[in-house]
Amino acid sequence: MALLAPSPRALCVREAAAAAPHPHSSVGAACSTVGGGAAGRTLWLWNGGGTGRRRRERRERVRAEAYFWDVSKPVEMEEIDSMEKLDDALRWSVENNQPVIIDWMASWCRKCIYLMPRMEKIAGEYPGVRFYFIDVNKVPQAVVKRGNVTKMPTIQLWKDGEWKAEVIGGHKAWLVMDEVREMIQQNK
């Protein structure tokens, strides 16, 4: 068996045509999946071009066992709209010795709006970490100054009541998300 696409999201295994009796056969139960249940399912693909039935029978089949270990469910981020709520979030971080992620955003910032559901997805991946967002146009300027924020979006990690790291999200969303995950892992 040769790995065609080794990655955390999908694993494709090349097999001979005799591996399964029919391309639509249900062999998904034999697959072990991360997250269990129907998270992963076996897909049958045909290797080679053409569309005719005779051509399909002569070609080699590729069985793709897709492991979508996306078991996290998005978690809605809490809004911080005052200095008191910011203090409460930072106090929680100190009391529980857990990091807090604060997404500083603006309602007019397209990148901020685009990143919001992705941040909620990451929040589902880290159940011990609390995620908040602050709309800089809705809070007093003192709150923005306390975060020392000058660009949007800025994603900060606070732990023990102190600023530890930040990602300024002016580049591609997947890079921002990778940097946020790395930031959380380093400060957990």
Read off the tokens for 83. Answer: 């200095």
Q: Which of 80, 105, 112, 136 is catalytic?
A: 112
> Is 12 part of the annotated catalytic residue set?
no
Q: Which of 75, 101, 109, 143 is catalytic?
A: 109
CATH number of 78-186: 3.40.30.10
First-to-last C-alpha distance (Å) of the chain? 38
> What local confidence, expressed as pLDDT, does residue 66 receive?
47
pTM: 0.63
> What local confidence, expressed as pLDDT, does residue 53 receive?
52
> What local confidence, expressed as pLDDT, does residue 74 receive?
87
Q: Which residues of 39-56 are buried (b: 16+ CB within 10 A; e: fewer)?
A: ebbbebebeeeeeeeeee
Q: What is the residue type of 82?
A: S
CB neighbourhood size of 75 (10 A): 18
Q: What is the DSSP letter of 169?
A: -
CA angle (78 as vertex; 130, 73 as ends), nearest 5: 65
Q: What is the residue type of 104?
A: W
> What local confidence, expressed as pLDDT, does residue 173 receive?
87
Please list the pLDDT of the chain residue by residue as tens digits (188 residues).
333 333 344 333 444 444 444 444 443 333 333 333 343 444 444 445 545 555 445 555 555 444 444 556 889 999 999 999 999 999 999 999 999 999 999 999 999 999 999 999 999 999 999 999 999 999 999 999 999 999 999 999 999 999 999 999 878 888 999 999 999 999 88
Residue ranges of the domains in the chain? Answer: 78-186
CA distances (Å), origin 115, targets 105, 120, 154, 170: 9, 9, 11, 11
> Is 109 part of the annotated catalytic residue set?
yes
Read off the tokens for 173. Answer: 């969303």
